[in-house]
Chains A and B, each alone.
Chain A
C-alpha cells in the first residue's frame, strides 16, 4: 500500500480525536459518578435504572407512610393506657365506696374525684395527633366530645397493596361510658344520692376496663405488625439502593485506572504523531 503524508496526518488526527472522545467519556463518568448519562449509553441499564428508582422511591414513601401509622398506633396505645389507669382508679374508688364505711362527705369527695376522672377520660377521647382527633372515625377534624363519636376506618398503604387500618373507633370505648346516662354518670349519681347500688356498679366498671384492655391488645398486635413492616422496608431500602448503585454508579478505582491508561495512550499518540509527521525527503535533499 502506498502511504502518503496526508494519510499519516489524517490518521493521526482521527486517532487523536478518538482518544479525546474516550477521555471525554471518562471525564463524564468520573464527574457525574454515573456509568451513563443518556439512555443510549446503555439502554437496558437506563430502563432498569428507572424501575429501580421507582422501587426505591416507593419504599421510601411507604417508610414515610408507616411512620405516620406508627404515630397513630403509638398515640392510641398511650391514650388507651391512660384510659385504663383512670378506669382502675375509678374501680378502686368504687370498691372503697361500696363497702359502706364511708360518711356522706367522704362519698361526696369520692364522687368529686370520679367526676374529675370522667373529664380526664373525656380528654383522652379527644386525643389529637398532628391536629387529628384519632378516636373520631373519619371525622378527624371534629372534637368528639362536642359532636359525639363518629365512625369510620382510616387505612394507610404501607406496602404495595397492603393497607393497615390505623384508627380505633372511640364510639364503643367512650360514648356509652361517658354519656349523661352512662355508667360513670350513674356511679357519680349513686354516690351523691347515697344509693346502695354502688356495689353493683363495680361490674360495669370492670366491663369498661375489659373493653379498653382488649382494644389495647389489638393495638399491641398492630404495633408488632408495624415493627415487622418497618424492618422489612428498611431492609428493602438497603437492598434497592444497592441494586440502583450497582446498576448505574461507577466503580471509581476502575474509572481512574482507565483514565490513567487512556492518558498514557493519549500521550503516546501525541508524541508518535509529532515524530511521524515532520520529516519528508525534502528535509534531506539539498
Chain B
C-alpha cells in the first residue's frame, strides 16, 4: 500500500528540483560575461519508482514514479575544442612574439627611407665622387669626412638600438618564465583543491573553469599537452569528474620529448606527484639563453619549442652548437661582419693613397673600429676630421691636387664584390656575398620576408584560433535568451508543483476532515 503523503513528497521534490534549476539559471545569467565560464546544466533524474522489486512488494497495479531529483550539475564543454584552441593559441603566441620583435627591427632599420643606412651610404659614395671631381677643394674633403662619420653614426645607432631592444626582449623572456611558473603553481593549487572535492562525489565546476582558463593562458606561452588523470584512490568520485591535470611540454607537432618534460605530473597510482619549475640558463659571456632547466632536465632544443616563450627566445637569441642563433644576434652579427669588411677594405685603399701634397703613402686608417664589435665602435679617424687634407685622394707620389685616382678607387668600393676585397681572409669572404650595396639590401629583403611571413602566420593562427573559439563559445557560452526561456520553463514547473501540493492538500483535507462523519 502506498503512503498517504507520497503525493506531497513527489510535489515537494518537484519544487526543490525546479528551484535548483532556477538557481543554476541565475548562476549562468550572472556569469554570462565571466571569462572562462562554462554554462552549467542540472541533470534531472527521476527518483526510484515505488514499489521496489521484491518478494513482499505491495500488490498494486504497477510501479509508480515518485518524482524528480537534481542529479549532477554539469559543465557543458567540449574538450576536443579546448585541444584545438590551445594548439592555435600556442602558434599565435609564437608568431605574435616573433612578428612584434621583427617589426621593431624593421622600425629601427627604417628602410626604405631617406634616413636609413642605405641612403647614408649613398651620400657617402656621392661625396667620394664629388671629391674625385674636386680633389683640391677643402669643402669636398670635409664633406667626405663628415658623411663618412654619418655612415659610422648610422651603424652605431643601428647596433645600439638593436641591442637595446634585444635586452628588452631578454627581460620579457624572464617575465614569461616567471609567468609560466606562476600559472603552473596556480594550476597545481587548483589540482589539489579539486582532488579534495571530487572524491566526495561533487563536481567543482568553478574550479574546473578556473583551471581550464589557466591552461588556456599557459598554452599561449608554451606548447603543452594536458592529460586528465583520475587516480585510483578517488573514493566516491562521479564518473563525470575531470580528475587531475597532468601537464607536459611537447614539441611543435604535439609529440612528447624523450624523456618527457612535465610541468605538473599526476599519476593514477599516486595522484599528484609534483610540479617542475622552469628556470632560464644564460651564458655569462654573451648573455644569450643556453638552456631551460625544467625540474632536473636541461632543455636546449629551442627549434622544436613553440609558444610566446619560444618566440621571444628565438628573437633574443640562444646558443646552439657554439654559435649564436636568433633574429637579433644574427642581425647584429651581419651588421658587424659587413661593417668590419667594408671598413677594412676602405682603410686598405685609403692607406695606400697619398694625402694632398704628400710624398709618402698616407698609412692612415679612414675608419677606426674595435675588432670585437665593429658596428658599435666604428668612427672616422679623428685626424681626418680635424684636417681633411689628409684624406688620401691621390694615387701617385706627390699627392698632386688634381690626382683623384685613389678617390675614385674609394668610390668604386660600392660595386666591388666582397670576394675581390684584398683585406679579407678567405673565411671572412665566405660569409659575405655580393657588394656592400647588394649585401645590405639583401639583409633588408630577408628581414622583410621574415617579418612578413611571421605576420601572415600570426594572422592565420589568429583566424583559426578565433574560429575554434567561436565553436567553443557556441557550446559553452551563456545565451541570455536561452536562460530566459529556461527560467520561464522552470518557474512554471515550480508553480505547477506547488499547485500539486494544493491539490494533495485538498485531497488530504477530504480524507482527514471530511470522511467518517456520517450522522454528525
**Complex: chain A residue closest to B451, CB-CB:** A40
Whether B79 sits at the interface, judged by CB under 8 Å, is no
- In the assembled complex, the Cα of A270 lies from the Cα of B479 at a distance in Å of 23
Q: Could you tell me the distance in whole angstroms from the C-beta of A278 to the nearest C-beta in chain B? A: 12
Whether B45 sits at the interface, judged by CB under 8 Å, is no
Most B CB within 10 A of own CB, among A40, A61, A281, A285: A40
Whether A38 sits at the interface, judged by CB under 8 Å, is yes
Is B32 a contact of A39 with CB atoms below 8 Å?
no
Is A47 a contact of B401 with CB atoms below 8 Å?
no
Is B444 a contact of A46 with CB atoms below 8 Å?
yes
**Complex: chain A residue closest to B453, CB-CB:** A40
Which residues 125-164 in B have Cβ within 8 Å of A in the complex?
125-126, 129-130, 132-137
**Complex: chain A residue closest to B438, CB-CB:** A51
Is B122 a contact of A137 with CB atoms below 8 Å?
no
- In the assembled complex, the Cα of A49 lies from the Cα of B405 at a distance in Å of 31
**Which among A11, A40, A57 is the interface contact of B126 at CB below 8 angstroms?**
A57
Whether B441 sits at the interface, judged by CB under 8 Å, is yes
- In the assembled complex, the Cα of A137 lies from the Cα of B444 at a distance in Å of 45
Is B400 a contact of A39 with CB atoms below 8 Å?
no
In the complex with contacts A2-B474, A40-B103, A43-B445, A280-B484 CB distance below 8 A: yes
Whether A189 sits at the interface, judged by CB under 8 Å, is no
Which residues 35-50 in A have Cβ within 8 Å of B in the complex?
38-44, 46-47, 49-50
**Which among B112, B135, B444, B479 is the interface contact of A2 at CB below 8 angstroms?**
B479
- In the assembled complex, the Cα of A137 lies from the Cα of B448 at a distance in Å of 50
Is A47 a contact of B129 with CB atoms below 8 Å?
no
In the complex with contacts A132-B136, A139-B401, A40-B106 CB distance below 8 A: yes
Whether B352 sits at the interface, judged by CB under 8 Å, is no
Which residues 407-423 in B have Cβ within 8 Å of A in the complex?
408, 411, 415
In the complex with contacts A14-B466, A157-B132, A4-B111 CB distance below 8 A: no
- In the assembled complex, the Cα of A131 lies from the Cα of B442 at a distance in Å of 43
Whether B348 sits at the interface, judged by CB under 8 Å, is no
In the complex with contacts A7-B470, A38-B103, A156-B132 CB distance below 8 A: yes
Residues on A with C-beta less than 8 A from B474 are 1-4, 7
Is A280 a contact of B401 with CB atoms below 8 Å?
no
**Complex: chain B residue closest to A52, CB-CB:** B112
Number of A-B contacts (CB under 8 A): 163
**Which among B136, B478, B480 is the interface contact of A282 at CB below 8 angstroms?**
B480
Residues on A with C-beta less than 8 A from B236 are none
**Which among A6, A51, A155 is the interface contact of B478 at CB below 8 angstroms?**
A6
Most B CB within 10 A of own CB, among A2, A14, A139: A2
**Which among A3, A6, A64, A137 is the interface contact of B32 at CB below 8 angstroms?**
A6
**Which among B112, B415, B475 is the interface contact of A39 at CB below 8 angstroms?**
B112
**Complex: chain B residue closest to A34, CB-CB:** B112
Q: Could you tell me the distance in whole angstroms from the C-beta of A284 to the nearest C-beta in chain B? A: 9
In the complex with contacts A2-B475, A43-B445, A132-B488 CB distance below 8 A: no
Residues on A with C-beta less than 8 A from B451 are 38-40
**Which among A40, A65, A131, A282 is the interface contact of B129 at CB below 8 angstroms?**
A65
**Which among B400, B437, B481 is the interface contact of A138 at CB below 8 angstroms?**
B400
Residues on A with C-beta less than 8 A from B452 are 39-41, 43
- In the assembled complex, the Cα of A21 lies from the Cα of B2 at a distance in Å of 73
Q: Could you tell me the distance in whole angstroms from the C-beta of A265 to the nearest C-beta in chain B? A: 18
Residues on B with C-beta less than 8 A from A40 are 102-103, 106, 447-452, 455
In the complex with contacts A5-B480, A54-B122, A130-B134, A39-B402 CB distance below 8 A: no
Is A132 a contact of B480 with CB atoms below 8 Å?
no
**Complex: chain A residue closest to B444, CB-CB:** A39
- In the assembled complex, the Cα of A168 lies from the Cα of B448 at a distance in Å of 51
Residues on A with C-beta less than 8 A from B219 are none
Is B478 a contact of A4 with CB atoms below 8 Å?
yes
Q: Could you tell me the distance in whole angstroms from the C-beta of A31 to the nearest C-beta in chain B? A: 15
Residues on A with C-beta less than 8 A from B445 are 39, 43-44, 46-47
- In the assembled complex, the Cα of A93 lies from the Cα of B126 at a distance in Å of 51
**Complex: chain B residue closest to A139, CB-CB:** B400
Is A281 a contact of B484 with CB atoms below 8 Å?
yes
Is B411 a contact of A47 with CB atoms below 8 Å?
no
Whether A261 sits at the interface, judged by CB under 8 Å, is no
Whether A140 sits at the interface, judged by CB under 8 Å, is yes
Q: Mark B466-497, 1 if CB is under 8 A from A, else 0.
A: 10001101110111111011001000000000
Which residues 369-410 in B have Cβ within 8 Å of A in the complex?
394, 396, 400-405, 408
Whether A68 sits at the interface, judged by CB under 8 Å, is yes
Q: Could you tell me the distance in whole angstroms from the C-beta of B86 to the nearest C-beta in chain A? A: 18
Whether A53 sits at the interface, judged by CB under 8 Å, is yes
- In the assembled complex, the Cα of A42 lies from the Cα of B449 at a distance in Å of 8
Residues on B with C-beta less than 8 A from A6 are 32-33, 473, 477-478
Q: Could you tell me the distance in whole angstroms from the C-beta of B88 to the nearest C-beta in chain A? A: 15
Is A38 a contact of B107 with CB atoms below 8 Å?
yes
Residues on A with C-beta less than 8 A from B350 are none
**Which among B136, B396, B411, B479 is the interface contact of A141 at CB below 8 angstroms?**
B136
| A residues in contact (CB < 8 Å) with B | 1-7, 10-11, 14, 38-44, 46-47, 49-51, 53-54, 57-58, 61, 64-65, 68, 130-132, 136-142, 150, 152, 154-157, 160, 163, 167, 248, 280-282, 285
A-B contact list, 16 entries, CB within 8 Å: A6-B33, A6-B477, A7-B473, A11-B470, A39-B451, A40-B447, A40-B449, A41-B448, A43-B452, A46-B444, A47-B445, A50-B112, A152-B402, A155-B408, A157-B129, A280-B480
Q: What 14 additional pairs, Cβ within 8 angstroms, besides A4-B478, A47-B441, A138-B394? A: A7-B477, A10-B473, A38-B448, A38-B451, A39-B111, A39-B451, A40-B447, A50-B112, A51-B441, A57-B126, A136-B402, A137-B402, A138-B396, A285-B484
For the complex of A and B, the 8 pairs showing the least CB-CB separation, nearest first, are A39-B448, A43-B448, A40-B451, A138-B400, A140-B402, A47-B445, A141-B401, A138-B402
